[in-house]
Amino acid sequence: MPEDSIDHIDFDELNKKAISQPLVKHIYTADPSAHVFNGKIYIYPSHDVDAGDAFDDLGSHFAMEDYHVLSMETPDTPARDHGLAMHVNDVPWAEKQLWAPDANEKDGKYYLFFPAKDYEGIFKIGVAISDKPEGPFTPQPEAIKNSFSIDPAVFKDDDGNYYMYFGGIWGGQLQRWRNGFFNGQQPDSPLAHLPADDEPALCPKVAKLTDDLLQFSETPKDVLIVDEAGNPLLQGDTDKRFFEAAWLHKYNGKYYFSYSTGDTHFLCYAIGDNPYGPFTYAGRILEPVVGWTSHHSIAEYKGQWYLFYHDSSLSKGITHLRSVKITPIEYDENGKIKTIHPYSK
C-alpha cells in the first residue's frame, strides 16, 4: 500500500479489522521465512531498525544490521525471540544491509542464507552455520561464488536436492546483472537497465546447491513466469510480474512459486511441474498491506498451510518498521490459493 495513501488511516480501527496481529512487538521484524524443524515453527525475519537514512527507491532506509530468530510451539502460541543470531560485524565480506534471509537444515546442521552489500556496494549472498535452529550462526568467510542480488529462499525437494531462489529489482540490483556482470555505471537509478514495458520481465534466479549447501552447483538459471498461453509476463504488467521475495513450496505434487510485485504491492503465485519451472501465473495470495513492501513465506504445520507476512500497522505506516504476522492459507478444489484480504476481519 503506497505511503501517500496512509495519511487518513485510523490505525486503531485498522488493527481491529486486521486478520492477524504482530507476532512480536518489542522489535520490528519483516520478510519472514518460516520452517518447521523438530516439530516447532522457526521464523527467520529481517530486523528493522530506524537508522535515520533517507527514504529512496534504492532502499537505503532499510539499514538492517542483524538477525533475530523467532520460534512458536504451534501457530496459536506466542512467538519467542531467541535474541541476536548474527550481526553484520560478524561477516567478513559484508559492510551493511542484512536484508531478507532464509534458512534450512541438513544432517543436523542449520544454514542461514542472507544477502548483504559488500564493501563495493554490491549485494551478494552468504551462508552461516549453526548446530541449533535458533543460532547463533557463524558466517562463512566469503560470499557464495557468483552470487548476486537479494532475497535468497532455499527449498528442499523430496529427492533431497536443495535449490536457492533469489533476486530483486530496483534496490535489489537484479537489473544491473542483465549482461552477466554488475553494471555499476551511472545513472544510479533503480529504473536504469530495466527492460521496456513491452519486453519480457526480468526473471528471478534459481540454482541447485552443492551437497554442503555452501555454493551453487550450477550457473543460476532464469525462473520463467508465463501467462496461460505460455507467454512470458511483460515488464509493464506490474500487477503480475516478479519484483522480489521469491519463495517455493510444494502442494499436491505441484511446485508453487510465489513472489511480490513490489511497487504494486501484491503477493502473487505461479504453478509448475518441476523446481526450475516454467511457472504459470495463477493469481494473488495477498492483497496490499499497510507499508510499501510485501514479503512472505509459506509453510505447513500438521496438515494446515500458513502464510507468514508483514505489515507496518504497528509503526502506524512507517515503511521500514514492519511486523511479522501469520494467517492460514486455504486452497480450492483445483489447487488454487484463495486470495487473502489482510484487513477483512
Kindly list the catalytic residues: 31, 244
> Is the preceding omega at residue 190 within 30 degrees of 0, hence cis?
no
How far is the C-alpha of 125 from the C-alpha of 110, rounded, in Å? 16
Q: Which amino acid is at 6?
A: I
In whole angstroms, how large is the CA radius of gyration of the chain?
18
* End-to-end alpha carbon distance in the chain: 18
Closest CA to 52 of 41, 39, 65, 67: 65
What is the DSSP code string of 268-280?
A: EEEEESSTT--EE
Q: Which amino acid is at 167?
A: G
C-alpha cell at 299: 509453510
3-state secondary structure of 193: coil
For 105, 130, 268, 270, the CA distances from 154, given in Å and listed in that order, are 10, 16, 18, 17
- Exposure string for 284-294, b = 16+ CB within 10 A, e = fewer: bbbbbbbbbbb
How far is the C-alpha of 155 from the C-alpha of 159, rounded, in Å? 11
3-state DSSP helix/strand/coil % of the chain, to nearest 5: 5, 40, 55
Longest dimension (CA), the chain: 52
List the alpha helices (DSSP H) in the chain.
Answer: 11-17
How far is the C-alpha of 332 from the C-alpha of 75, rounded, in Å? 22
